[in-house]
């Protein structure tokens, strides 16, 4: 589902984002990405989304060679990639319902299906009763639930989460991780950047540790290669 071969990204003035990263993630896998601040985690995620171009190497996501994807093809490729960020990034001038429906309208889903799909997602994240609310009226955890519903409504093959619990308390973080785990159990391939090492240990999923732009460990069941 994800292949990175010798991928490097150098920013201006020789600042290394990542260097010579090799990573293979199979369909249906759940992978945590951990490592100190500045170790290249977000750079890796942005490269997978083609928000950044690599300085070198080859990137394949869901069968698309990202290096070769043209600008006009990018929306079609991204349709199959859900994203969740630390800061939620909801549209604050729209309701919860519309935030999730928007992703469906963009891909021209028929109106009757939009309603069905949005309600299904709201039910999955436990927010059916808040469908009319404005994101500003919700707690951080609730906003992140909406963001997850939005990321999943188009049934993406891959879900990329960059510090999805970075702004949340411990209990809420666990709830959010459970939702991401549920998406994975339903078949979505998942990559989650996190600093929450307690959760990483509990969940016992494959965990990649990054340091200075390189992958320094890749362990099967929640082990990691650095101390916070
Ligand atoms: P992490 O997400 O692990 O904290 P990042 O991928 O954001 O790390 O950053 C990796 C390195 O690349 C850091 O040294 C950071 O300062 C640098 N970097 C990230 N984004 C940029 C940018 N837009 N311009 C220049 N340097 C950047
Ligand atoms: Mg980051």
What string of pLDDT tens digits covers the 228 residues of the chain? 999 999 999 998 889 999 999 999 999 999 999 999 999 999 999 999 999 999 999 999 999 999 999 999 999 999 999 999 999 999 999 999 999 999 888 888 899 999 999 999 999 999 999 999 999 999 999 999 999 999 999 999 999 999 999 999 999 999 999 999 999 999 999 999 999 999 999 999 999 999 999 999 999 988 887 777
Pocket probe mutation, ligand 1, options 8, 19, 34, 38, max atoms within 8 Å of Cβ: 38
Question: Do 29 and 189 meet the contact criterion of CB atoms below 8 Å apart?
Answer: yes
CA of 129 to the centre of ligand 2 (A): 33
Q: What is the pLDDT of residue 13?
A: 84
d(CA 50, CA 120): 29
Q: What is the pLDDT of residue 221?
A: 87
What strand order describes the sheet that includes 56-61? 15-25, 2-11, 56-61, 64-65
Question: Do 213 and 42 meet the contact criterion of CB atoms below 8 Å apart?
Answer: no
CA of 112 to the centre of ligand 1 (A): 43
Q: What is the pLDDT of residue 20?
A: 97
Q: What is the pLDDT of residue 224?
A: 83
**Which protein residues touch ligand 1 with a CB less than 6 Å away?**
11, 15, 17, 35, 37-43
> 1-80+156-228: which CATH number, 3.30.565.10, 1.10.1200.10, 3.40.50.300, 3.40.50.720?
3.40.50.300
What stretch(es) of the chain map to CATH 3.40.50.300? 1-80+156-228
Write down the pTM of the prediction. Answer: 0.95
């Amino acid at each position: 589902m994800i292949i990175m071969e010798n991928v490097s990204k150098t920013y201006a003035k020789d600042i290394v984002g990542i260097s010579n990263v090799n990573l293979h993630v199979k369909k249906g896998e759940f992978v945590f990405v951990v490592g100190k601040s500045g170790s290249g985690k977000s750079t890796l995620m942005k490269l997978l989304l083609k928000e950044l171009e690599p300085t070198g190497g080859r990137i394949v996501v869901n069968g698309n060679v990202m290096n070769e994807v043209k600008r006009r093809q990018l929306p079609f490729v991204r349709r199959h990639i859900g994203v969740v960020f630390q800061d939620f990034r909801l549209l604050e001038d729209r309701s919860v319902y519309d935030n999730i429906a928007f992703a469906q309208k963009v891909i021209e889903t028929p109106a009757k299906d939009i309603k069905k799909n949005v309600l299904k997602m709201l039910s999955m994240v436990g927010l059916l009763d808040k469908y009319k609310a404005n994101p500003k009226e919700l707690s951080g955890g609730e906003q992140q639930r909406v963001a997850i519903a939005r990321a999943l409504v188009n049934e993406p093959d891959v879900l990329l989460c960059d510090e999805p619990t970075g702004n949340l308390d411990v209990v809420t973080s666990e709830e959010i991780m459970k939702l991401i785990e549920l998406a994975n159990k339903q078949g979505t391939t998942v990559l989650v950047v996190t600093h929450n090492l307690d959760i990483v240990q509990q969940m016992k999923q494959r965990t990649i540790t990054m340091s200075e732009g390189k992958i320094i460990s890749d362990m099967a069941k929640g082990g990691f290669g650095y101390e916070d």
